[in-house]
Structure 1
């Protein structure tokens, strides 16, 4: 099954490396037995949006191909409809599912932001434990509100081990902005090997925000990664947050599609 959505197609860059991707004809099953609680590592992406009466069948497919409680404590369903087809979600929502929406933005190339930061040094992070430890600290410091530090640190430490392995395998590069002698912003860019590049985990330390670091690093990483991988299109996925959207738009990203998912937490 060839996925059409830029969001899901580039999600599979990570899914294929860390887990298993299985074509079920009507859906793609993504499973990561090593991290069964990771949402985007364990989900079903259907060819069509949900219709009335789909819930029990979809749940049975999830249990069969992804997992069930207590090992897999959630259920997550997406659908490969970039043009935002009509979805009948009432029975899912009434059963306790929550609708999640992400904004997928894309660009053939980027340009410098209006407020280009010229003070920081922008470069790929070196493959040393010291610099990757700085990446972890920055990712934890720049986490969104609502996440407790200790469990978030454990999650990020595990995630970054996998992303570092992907960089070592030649699938991506991690970039940092270094200022005042330390890493203060970072992100990753990964290739699908077929012309697409996907950004991952953009984070700026709270004390260094509003200095143009995020936009400048996004621009630098895009230019560098395109030259390195020879890619034709850059993709970034974010929740529909006004500030993030403005930053990405400032370097040339445009709205491409909206990614919808139904999430049930707790089994």
Structure 2
């Protein structure tokens, strides 16, 4: 299965490693995660071409047919240039366009103001991973309800399984035994390593933790891979942190969402 987008290529790799089903129908690729049906980007369709006139409705219908129980719609386009197609039709169909920056690095530099107070290490114990669950909830950008708690718990189980299977590592910054910042780094075995979920607890922001942790994990990652990949929101401050340690913009990743009603 040929996927041009480095962002989606590594997304599908991570899903496959976590037990998701990935199937190429020819017209589109189906990514399905039965263990976590509320995971939008574990249950989506990836198309190979931008939206043509009339395509929004057809693609939403495809999604509804593939995922009849889903409360969301999630569609991707396998491109690198950010070309959407008929954007006015997408808006009329209720689709929100999300553009992310796919960034890469073959070498990294230390942040200008590294954090020297915290301890940076792998997550290892049951307590570390249980803290990770609560850490994810504390960093949520949305209202945390029972459905989001269940989604977070299931995603945590999958992430730990990837680490336990030897596919990567999860890193944390700690004040004593308290988790402050975290991220994952997963390897494809062929020279690529993909970052996952760079998070810092609200009370610990502004201390240089994220930049120091990204540099720490990158230094480790480049002992096992040639190219590091991270996907960032172009409008969020974290992208400046990644650029400061040596990541450069490589592609634009396109995702289209109709959230649950």
Q: Would you say the 8 A contact 2:57–2:93 is kept in 1? A: no
Q: Which residue is equivalent to 1:163?
A: 159
Write out aligned runs for 1:69-80 (5 A).
71-80=69-78
Distance apart, 1:159 and its partner CA: 0.8
Q: Would you say the 8 A contact 1:13–1:190 is kept in 2? A: no
Q: Distance in 2 between matches of 1:188 and 1:181?
A: 19
Q: Distance in 2 between matches of 1:194 and 1:8?
A: 16
Q: Distance in 1 between matches of 2:61 and 2:135?
A: 40
Summarize deviations over 1:61-100 as a string: whole Å, max 9, x none: 3234x311xx211221111110223512322321211112
Summarize deviations over 1:136-174 as a string: whole Å, max 9, x none: 222222222x32265443322221111000101111100
1:25 and 2:18 matched:
no
Q: Which residue is equivalent to 2:51?
A: 50
Q: Distance in 2 between matches of 1:34 and 1:249?
A: 35
Q: Distance in 2 between matches of 1:48 and 1:169?
A: 35
Q: Distance in 1 between matches of 2:196 and 2:211?
A: 14
Query: Alignment partner for residue 237 of structure 1, among 231, 236, 241?
Result: 231
Query: Alignment partner for residue 259 of structure 1, among 250, 253, 261?
Result: 253
Segments of 5+ residues of structure 1 without an aligned counterpart are none
Q: Would you say the 8 A contact 1:143–1:203 is kept in 2? A: no
Distance change (3 Å), C-alpha of 1:107 and 1:58:
same
Q: Would you say the 8 A contact 2:81–2:251 is kept in 1? A: yes
Q: Which residue is equivalent to 2:144?
A: 148
Segments of 5+ residues of structure 2 without an aligned counterpart are none
- How many residues align? The count is 260
Distance change (3 Å), C-alpha of 1:33 and 1:242:
closer
Q: Would you say the 8 A contact 2:106–2:222 is kept in 1? A: no
1:114 and 2:115 matched:
no
SS in 2 for 1:61: helix
Q: Which residue is equivalent to 1:138?
A: 135
Q: Which residue is equivalent to 2:82?
A: 84
Distance apart, 1:186 and its partner CA: 0.8
Q: Which residue is equivalent to 1:221?
A: 217
Summarize deviations over 1:158-205 as a string: whole Å, max 9, x none: 211110001011111000111243221111101122211111111112
SS in 1 for 2:252: strand
Query: Alignment partner for residue 187 of structure 2, among 182, 188, 191?
Result: 191
SS in 1 for 2:222: helix
Distance change (3 Å), C-alpha of 1:193 and 1:219:
same
Q: Distance in 2 between matches of 1:152 and 1:72?
A: 15
Q: Which residue is equivalent to 1:102?
A: 100
1:15 and 2:15 matched:
yes
Q: Would you say the 8 A contact 1:59–1:75 is kept in 2? A: yes
Q: What RMSD over aligned residues (CA atoms) do the two structures have, in Å?
A: 1.8
